[in-house]
Structure 1
Amino acid sequence: MPTETEVALTPPNTSSLPKTKAQSLRSTDVADFPALTGLEEEWRFTPLKRLRGLATATPSAETALRYEHGVLPTGVTVSTLAKGDPRIGRVLVPFDRVSALGFGNADGATLIAVAPEAEVAEPVSVQVIGGGAGVAYAHTVIEVGRFGKATLVVEQVGSTTLADNVEVDIADGAQLTLVTVADWASDTVQAQHVKFRLGRDAKVTHVQVSLGGDLVRQFTSVEYTGRGGDAELFGLYFADGDQHLEHRQLVDHSVPDCRSYVGYRGALQGAGAHTVWVGDVLIQVAATGTDTYEINRNLVLSDGARADSIPNLEIETGEVAGAGHASATGRFDDEQLFYLMARGITEHEARKLVVRGFFAELLQKIPLESLRDRLGDAIEARLAKGDQ
């Protein structure tokens, strides 16, 4: 029999202890991830039957995406990376089965690069066009060199069933405003992983807009590699009819003196509309001086719509500058409608004004005026559809 001393010196078994988000499995091999059942915490809100083969390794057919852009300004290039290029996977390692499937099956990657010290005055627009209802795999690498500064707008349109990964590498002192718009056709299914890696004193502002598609599931993660990193993640989504729109974030603070802010807003219209927002912020032991806040707000416009909203903070150090989260889901404010209608405004116009005001702050984060106006018109068109 072991003595008490011997028992005390035996290393504890930590295999059964819960792991932090940062310790979760990362792998490029789809075989490392078991088949999905829907019971997993990360997938319990997602209707797996509507993924149309994205969770299996044997899709029935494949289609390709097209990347289109206009004349590029000096300092910005768009090119193709062959499969196996060392720049693929330097930032992003898949976190789940679908991401790993997309990583392994993508035929190379599209590289969008901003040269070091380049200051690009005008927004750069790239359009990603779906090629049909078959399964597609895609990989995009975005690089911003040291002290580079740019605004990039990526619009996703057309029809597809897509598993794609996007890795964004922002070097020391660089700044990037990235606007991604999922304005897919109504039959599209997408599962996407976007990974940001920030260098010292680097800053990213990401505005994620989700309007189209049948099922769109987007996971966004942030990693810091030096002090002074600053990440602002904004999201705007509108689920209509039977749409399922799901957004998840993981902001991993692992170095001192970095900042993050997450602000997502969504509207839901239709008895089958379902939105999911899960915001995870991890502040590791070494990340002293962290300043972080996350908030999600949802506006329910009709009976039967469902919004799931879960903010999470995991703090491993008490030396933080600030850390908080908030979530709110509700219907129209009857007092606001009454106030507007009492002044001669019709109910339809009053609803439109309230929703426009609800999204106004996020729309203003989009630096391209024509895109702001187009998205505002799209939101109002959906409201008009609901009033019919």
Structure 2
Amino acid sequence: MPQDLYYEYRWKGWEYSNYAREQYQRYVDILLEGERNYDIFGNYISRGFRIYDWTENQPQPQGSGIFKSPKFSGWFSRVIVSSAHKGQFFTSMTVGESIRTTMTPLTFSKPTFNGIQWDFLTDKYGLTLLSSRLNSPGNIANNESSPASRSENTTRLFGARAVSQLGDFAQVGGTWINVANTRTDLTFGENSLKGILTKPQNTGNVETITIRISDDSPESPESGGLLFFDRGIIDGEVHTEIKPIIRGGVRSGGNIEAKGADVMELIYDIRNDFRPTEKLPIFQEARKLEFELIIANDYKVEVASNMQVDRLGDEVFLPVAQARGEVTDGTNQRFLRFEYGLPTGHEVIGVDLEITDMAGLNVRAEYAVNRRFQRFPNQNFTKLAAAQATAQAAYLTASYINYPWFAYGETFTMEPDYRTPSLISNSLGGVDYG
């Protein structure tokens, strides 16, 4: 006699079964469905089906696993909603592959979010939590005994949004979105919300760097990007022997200018030009690489290296800085110092205010800060210090309705390098920068 039949019907194995008066009935109790589940100590938890399972075991190779049962697709059409409420308290957890998820206009909005969204709501407060393994969200398993979709180099998203009602008309909110590369062969402490380099990102050494300076408004016949000075710094030491090969640009009065469709490239051959110092005997032990430029006018600066390539092995340029406005008289001359690294993390933090129908007045405002993290790649070090770049954006809209009058106005600001998309590694940890 199976123990489940004893627990549910109190049937005993030696009892005589006679269906003359009480006719036979099928086993239809839902408690008999599925498998028995136990915790790691062997204690019984419940009986049911494993539909979705995301586990993180660190430090462990291939320690991130996501399992999606065939029932996730067949029974639930790739979306599961579990909810509960008591009084004014409501909660709902949604697991799906095409969830319409929106936080705020400046932080996060995605019509096909693949991951987990957990929502809480009361009469006054609201909270949303997000999580996803972006680079490999998992495929539907062939059968119940199939292994989970495992990965060692992952790109994970975590997010949160909290809102609070202020009186009858106003609502304030705060939003945090973080996307970071992680490795499961490292401990949770060795990983970081600033991200770390995946194994493919950190295979090799930086041997060549190319800085590209171009005209930020190539369609304009006016002045383009103007370069006055450049030099490279390795681990805090100036290496004057590493002089760039300059390709493109037009020399004018001792300076070099890239105007219109013309592009100027500064190619630094670190491998062949480097000379050892007491502090740094070989370039393969470098921990930090910086560049200093003096530039002016309508410039756009980008950087690439032999470690920053696409699937075909061609160098891909990523933005560093650009001029504000179309300046032609050199009044925006600036000293630019930046640290080279490969992208590892991306973060957006924002606050917002909404006023609804306060004597006909409606206001919506938001301010957000974008932080982008990068680390210098060197196969001799697992984790070097992270460099950070920030950008800001904000907007304000207001409308007033008092029949028959209507008024509307808006203002906004956004720095050129403010962005919400992030580079995502593939299932093996490689990043296509193109």
Same fold per TM (> 0.5)? Answer: no
Q: TM-score, normalised by structure 2?
A: 0.23
Q: Which one has a bigger Cα radius of gyration?
A: 2
Structure with the larger helix share: 1
Higher relative contact order (Cα pairs below 8 Å, separated by 6+ residues): 2
Tell me the TM-score normalized by structure 1.
0.25
